[in-house]
Structure formats: C-alpha cells, structure tokens
Structure 1
Amino acid sequence: MKKTIIWINLIITVFLIHGCIESIDFKSETFENHLVVSSILTNEVKNHSVELSRTVPIDSIKIQPEENAIVTIIDDLGTTYNFQENESGLYISTDEFAAQPTRSYTLKITTKDGENYTSTEETLPNIREIEDIFFTVENNPISNTQDVFFRVNSKLSEGNGNYYRYEYDETYKVTPPFWSNFRLEILSDVQPYSFAVVPKDFGVYGRGICYGNASSKTIMLTETNTINQDKVSGFPLRAMPIDSYIIGLRYSILVKQYVLNQNTFDFYTLLDKFSDSDNIFSQVQVGNIPSNITPESDPNSEKVIGFFEVSTINEKRVFFNRSDITDSLYQNYAGVSDCGTMITPQVEDNFGYSPLLDYLNTGWIFASRNLGSPPQPGGPYFLTKKKCGDCRHLGPINPPDFWIE
C-alpha cells in the first residue's frame, strides 16, 4: 500500500526531476493542495487500510499525511465499516472483513477541515486463480549472456476477458564467500595489544546463511480482453542474469494476482505512463489521471489524486533450487569481486601501532579457510572484508516462517 501512495505523491515532485540533461531548479510558485488517497479493498478477510496524505510543493520531498479524518466504507446494503487512525495518515478498519461478490462498495472520507469526499460505487470482480509460476532461460542479445525469467499463468476461466495486476515478494538464501565459525575478539586496544580467537555466538552471527528479501517496485499490468480466452499465459514478472546470487542457492517468490475492473486498470495504466522517467514531458499530466473519488462540495473538480480500488486477489508461492534452473555453480552475492585476497596485518608494527586493530575497526573481520579448527593463538590472523565473511547486511540469519527446504 505504501508503494502506491508514494507513486501517487511523487508524480508531482520527483519524476519531474529525473532524466533531464541539465538539472532544473523547480520552484513552487503556485501550489494546489490536493487530497491523496490510496485504498485497496479485496476479498481477503483482514483489517483493510486507507492511506491519506496531501500533495506537497515540488521543492518538498516529505509526504504530508492527512490526519484526524473520518473514514468509512459502506456497501450497497448499508453495512458500514469504520476505520481508525493507527498512525499518522494510515487508517485501519476496526474489524476484519472481506469484500463480497455482487456487493458494491463506496469509500467516504471527512477531513479534519470538514470537507466530505465520496467515491463511486465499486463492485468486486470475479476471482481468477493462479495456475502456475515457472521460469524460462533466455539469451540476452545485449549482454551475450543468459537471463532467467519468472513467469505466471492464470487458470483458464469462462466468460469475458479481465484486467490483471501483479505484485511479487521474493526471498532468497545466500552465503558469504568466506565464513568462519570463529571471530577475533579485541582483548586490549592499547599496548600490549591482545587478541583472541573465540567461537561465534550462532544466535547473533548465524551459521553462514542469510535470507534476503525484496518486493516488486513497478506497476505490472496485463489484460485478456483482446485475446480469445480469459487466461494469462507466461506473463513475465521478474528477470535476472543466470549468474545472479539471488538464485545462487534457493529462491522463493510469492506472486499476488489482482483482478481489476476497467476503470482501475486505466488508472494504473496512466499512473505507470506518468511515472516513466524517460517520458516526463509527455502529455500525461496529473490532472489527466482520473480519480473515482470527488469532493461532495464540487463533484466536477479534480481535487483528489488516487483511487478507491476494489479487486479480487489470489496468491501463490513457489520455491526453486539453483539446480532446478542451471548446472552452473553458485555465484556469490554482488559487489564482492575483491574478496579473493585475505590480509594478515601485524599485531604491532615497529612504531608501536597495531595495523591489525586498525583493520578490525574499519570493517575487516577474521576469516579462516579451515572451517574445522581455529588457528593457533597469536596469529597470523587472516582477515577479509566484512561483507565477504558476513551476509547479515543482506537479510536476517533465521529463515522466515514460510521457508521450507
């Protein structure tokens, strides 16, 4: 949800700055204060949310939340779902509920200044299930290498075509190039310098395995109205080089498939076009992105940015081992091409300083090529850069609850 409201808010600010040959000093000479709304109601039984903020001047980068509003969703039978502000600008339904088929829903907002806003009635589309998530390996003619594409199929459905939006959340298992069960502890940082090799606390440092995570950051849309069957086939979700560390050991992707109505699809299509930094001076402007929310005092005005979305969602998670994708060996994570050389700094040099202490204080850690036994006391101590022997900057050491081997 927060990604959507950031897209909507930044279309007035950041996207006007990217891609220019020369930097332009934009100044906020005239500024219209618009309400920004981000709300997705789905068929999931949960506490749904509505995010409210205000547009900001082009020379501001801080989002201004809309606080102390009254937010409700009302269905066509008169059932009212109340929301309360859990944090600044974020309103959560007081009860769990799910949008129901054949029911229509209206979002109502009363801001702290007394302005009332109402959305159009939106009906929940029919659910469509994900059939399969799979990968293809394809040649990249630009890099002359191979890329892996993760793709999705929806199940074939009877009836008319539909509009679809996709999101993904990926989790991947990684290990550092150099891992040791031991670490170097500083016993004395003044003369006489003293160090000791001690076993790592696995609860803190782990066992050389970390779990990275990332979510989709682009708007991914497709439709089946222009083909002869309501079935998404091979829609590309994620692409990466075959030697990517993300698929270096084991990889999982959770795919969320939203079925949209046409108005919602059109809104995301225009939002996606406007957020294209290569086309910032196109004819698509903020006022051209329609909203289904209007102020009751002036229903014909364009004083709202955002959309009240009512969509069905279906999700599916799959796992892949590297051996499922390729026979090539595991590739270590990016940015560690300089991990091949270890150093053995002196405990104390001829000037009374400790190069070893300096390295330990500037991002180097103990490393051992022999994982089965500690080195002899007193050194030499082999060090590697922290990122080369510790993967915790990429993610936690414990697998998430859903993880299976």
Structure 2
Amino acid sequence: MKKFSFIFFILLWSCVDPYEVDIEEGVQLLTVEGMVTNGPGPHLVKLSRSDTYGSIYEGLVRPVAGATVIVRDQTGKVIFLEEDLENRGDYYTSADFSAEVGNTYTLQIQLVDGTVYSSLPETLPSVPEIQEINYQVKKIPVEGELNPDSGVQFLVDIEDPEEEDNYYYWKKGPSMYILETRPDLYHLPPPSRQPAPKDCCISCYRSEQVANYSIFIANDDTFNGLSSRIPAAFVLDDGLRFVNQYRIDIEQYSISAGAYRFLRLVKQQVELSGSVFDPPPANIRGNMVSLDHPDEVVLGYFMAAGETSKRVYVDATKLDFVQGRTIIADDCRVVDGAQTERPSDWNP
C-alpha cells in the first residue's frame, strides 16, 4: 500500500508543468540626487547608477565619477561643480554659492562617454520662517515585543502665505547630544577580560547626522494662509540620545509642485506595508532627461528650494517616555563624534 501511494505521488507531481518566469534583465540606471538653495554652500549633487527591480544586482549602487556637472540659471550664468575625490560621485558647488529666490536653475551633466543629461528648469520659491518647534514622544509598537520602540517627533509652527500655493519639505540637519558612558565598567579586551576601570570620561558632547528614514512633506491645500503645526522630523530613541540633553537643526524647504509630486510618490513607495498584495517596487521618474537618448529612464530629481532652519533643544526630563539607557562601558571619548570640550554654540 505504501509503495502504491509513493508511485501515485510521483505520477501526480510529474503531471504539473513547471511555471517559467521571464525576469527582465536589470539595466543600470543613472540616478541623480541634488539641490541648490538660497542657503549657504556648498550644495551637493550625487550621481550613481543602480539596477532595476528584478536584477540580480538589485540594490547595488555605483558612483558615477569623472562627470562634468554644471548648474545654469535663466540669465546664462554657469556654476561648475567639483567632484569630491574621496567620495566619488559627489559633486559640490563652491562654498560661496547661494541660489537666489525667483531665479530658475537647470542642472546639466556630461558623462565621460559624452552622454549629456539635463533637468527641467526649477524656479526657486521663497520660504516662510519656522515660528517655533515643539516635540513629543511617539511610541512604535513592535510585533512580538512587550516594550515598544520610541522616539521624538518634532513639529514646526509656520505662517503659511495666503497668496500662493506652497509645498514644503523638511530634513534633519546636524544634531548633538550629551553622551553619558560608564568608564568605571571598562574591561580589558580578550583574552584577559579583566576589570580595568578608567578615571575619565563620563560625559561628552557627541555630534552626529541622523539619517532621514522617512520623508516629511506637506502642501497647503488644507491650511492655505493659516497658522499650522506640522510634523517635520522624527529621531529614534537609541538609549543614548535622550538621556540628558539633545539638540537638532530642523531644515525647512519650499519646493516646486513637481518636486513635491516626486517626493510624494517616493514616500508612498517606501511606506508600503510589505504585504503580498503590494505592488513591486517601481522606478519613479523625476525631472532628469537624456538629451542623446530621450527614451532612457533617468531616476532622481534636481531641486531648487528656498531654505530656512531652526534649532531646538530637547530636555530629557520633559519626555514622558524614554528607552532604557544603553550602557557603553568605556571612556566617552572613544565614541565617534564625541568630545569633552563644551561647544561654543551649545546654549540650551
């Protein structure tokens, strides 16, 4: 009986035709990320090549080096960008260059093989000032975990101009916090592992640039001409940042309608829930085109944006929830970006 069942299973399996899936071979796509603002320079344009969805090299990013990169305004003035030879593919304007409100800017790129790319023109809009920055704790439930993740959400107060359509984009600027460690718990490295308490140092000022894991954008369709409070940034609590005092610069940009639509599509894609019913990742086209091959897909967007920023300090004693403290059993000076000297601009 067992033998008969086994033969029946083999026959059943052999009756199923294999399903063949044709996956389009990945194509290396030029990706452009760049922005000029009316703020101080230098301003950055990043060039890279990435592969389309389905490629065996999916996610692989290669910098594009040796290109000629310029920004041109509507008067014909040309600004040349120089490549950072230590970070290939990164091209910078001079430090003394700032774009001007009302001017129109176009990015032009020529690769080493002679292929030329251009952005569509972007006009730099004015930007309202940030009136105030508030903050609050945001908890994030974690499936299968009793304790949630958490962080601090920053909200900006703005006075939106009534006479025009406005599109906003916020990014996290430089941050700094008082880092507290436990040098008294230091142990010698293996194989010894013997306790070797250090006399210094417990407290440092640590600088860092926190990655933008989410995209914060808004348009004024629902608050045109009104005072509004809008979420502008989120910083994860890693058990170190919010032990004492934390500060961050919140950067606010006024962007074009086209740039807003591009960022909204990117935001929708990166915030997919991840279920089996979600569509596959798509290549979102921006405002870059190939002048030699008009049908070529070019990823990314070149923006001209009005810029303003404001600094805020977070006092840990005013937070209603924080993560358990992360213990670093060493001198705080061994942590990247940390120093014991109080910065001259530290003014809570």
CA 1:135–1:296 in structure 2 vs 1: closer, same or farther (change >3 Å)?
same
- Preserved contact between residue 102 and residue 126 of structure 2 (Cα < 8 Å): no
Which residue, 159, 172, 178 being the options, matches 1:173? Answer: 178
Residue 295 of structure 1 is matched in structure 2 by 290
Structure-2 change in CA distance of 1:140 and 1:269 (3 Å): closer
Deviation at 1:196, TM superposition (A): 11
| Contact map agreement 1:185 1:198 (CA 8 A) in 2 | no
> Distance in 2 between the 1:173 and 1:247 partners?
8
Partner Cα separation in structure 2 for residue 401 and residue 135 of structure 1: 24
Q: 1:185 to 1:98 in 2, by over 3 A?
A: closer
1:224 alignment counterpart: 220
**Residue 162 of structure 1: aligned partner:** 166
Q: CA deviation at 1:292?
A: 1.0
Per-residue deviation, residues 251-282 of structure 1 (Å, max 9, x unmatched): 11210111111100111111122223524864
Match for residue 333 of structure 1?
325
Aligned partner of 1:128 in structure 2 is 128
Q: Say which is worse superposed, 257-266 or 394-403, in terms of deviation.
A: 394-403
- Aligned partners of 1:50 and 1:94: how far apart in 2? 12
- Distance in 1 (CA, whole Å) between partners of 2:344 and 2:180 is 19
Partner of residue 19, structure 1: none
Q: 1:258, 1:163 → 2: CA distance?
A: 8
2:306 is matched with: 312
Equivalent residue runs for 1:168-207 within 5 Å: 168-169=172-173, 170-176=175-181, 178-180=182-184, 200=199, 202=200, 206-207=201-202
1:51 and 2:46 correspond:
yes
- Aligned partners of 1:138 and 1:148 also within 8 Å: yes
Structure 1 residue aligned with 2:3: none
Q: State how far apart, in whole Å, the 2-side matches of 1:172 and 1:286 are.
A: 38
Percent of aligned pairs with the same amino acid: 23
- Is 35-44 or 62-71 further displaced after alignment? 62-71
**Residues 163, 225 of structure 1: 8 Å contact kept:** no
Distance 1:209 1:127 in 2: 36
2:5 is aligned to none
* Alignment correspondent of 1:64: 62
Q: 2:251 aligns with which of 253, 256, 260?
A: 256
3-state secondary structure, aligned to 1:311: strand
User: For the structure 1 residues 184 and 251, does the alpha-carbon distance in structure 2 shift closer, same or farther, using more than 3 Å as the test?
Assistant: closer
- TM-score, structure 1 normalization: 0.65
Structure 2 SS opposite 1:266? helix
Q: Matches of residues 81-100 of structure 1 in structure 2 within 5 Å?
A: 81-87=79-85, 88-94=88-94, 96-100=96-100
SS at match of 1:102: coil
Looking at structure 1, the residues matched to 22 and 338 of structure 2 have their Cα atoms a distance apart, in angstroms, of 42
Give CA-to-partner distance per residue, 1:360-400, whole Å, 9 cap, x none: xxxxxxxxxxxxxxxxxxxxxxxxxxx34544447513355
Matched, 1:114 2:114: yes
> Aligned partners of 1:139, 1:272: CA distance in 2, in Å?
21
What is the aligned residue count?
312
In 2, Cα distance between equivalents of 1:212 and 1:27: 49
CA distance in 1, matches of 2:46, 2:317: 43
| Alignment partner, residue 339 of structure 2 | 397
Distance 2:205 2:176 in 1: 10
For each residue in 1:64-84, what CA deviation from the matched residue of structure 2 results, as whole angstroms up to 9, or x when unmatched? 111221111111111011122
Say if 1:254 and 1:318, in contact at 8 Å, map to a contact too. Answer: yes
CA distance in 1, matches of 2:25, 2:223: 46
Instruction: Return 5+ residue gaps in structure 1 as ranges.
Output: 1-25, 337-386
SS of 2:96's equivalent?
coil
**Separation (CA, whole Å) in 2 of partners of 1:166 and 1:128:** 13
> Judging changes above 3 Å, is the alpha-carbon distance between structure 1 residues 325 and 28 closer, same or farther for their aligned structure 2 residues?
same
Question: What residue identity is the alignment partner of 2:212?
Answer: S
Unaligned runs of 5+ in 2: 1-20
Q: What secondary structure is seen at the aligned counterpart in 2 of 1:286?
A: coil
Contact 2:216 2:232 in 1 (8 A): no
Deviations 1:141-186 (A, max 9, x none): 997999754321123434223111111244322323x444x97889
Which of 247, 267, 270 aligns to 1:272? It is 267
Q: Which residue of 1 aligns with 2:8?
A: none
- Aligned partners of 1:27, 1:246: CA distance in 2, in Å? 48
Partner of 1:39: 34
Q: What is the distance in 1 between the residues matched to 2:99 and 2:188?
A: 57
TM-score, with structure 2 as normaliser: 0.75
Residue 222 of structure 1 deviates from its aligned partner by 1.5
Equivalent-residue separation in structure 1 for 2:123 and 2:204 (angstroms): 46
Distance 1:197 1:283, change over 3 A: closer
AA of the residue aligned to 2:338: P
- Whether contact under 8 Å (2:159, 2:225) holds in the other structure is no
Separation in structure 1 between the aligned mates of residue 252 and residue 39 of structure 2, nearest angstrom: 13
Are the aligned partners of 1:151 and 1:238 in contact in 2 as well (CA < 8 Å)? no
- After the TM superposition, which of the residue ranges 79-88 and 130-139 deviates more from structure 2? 130-139
CA RMSD in angstroms, aligned pairs only = 3.7
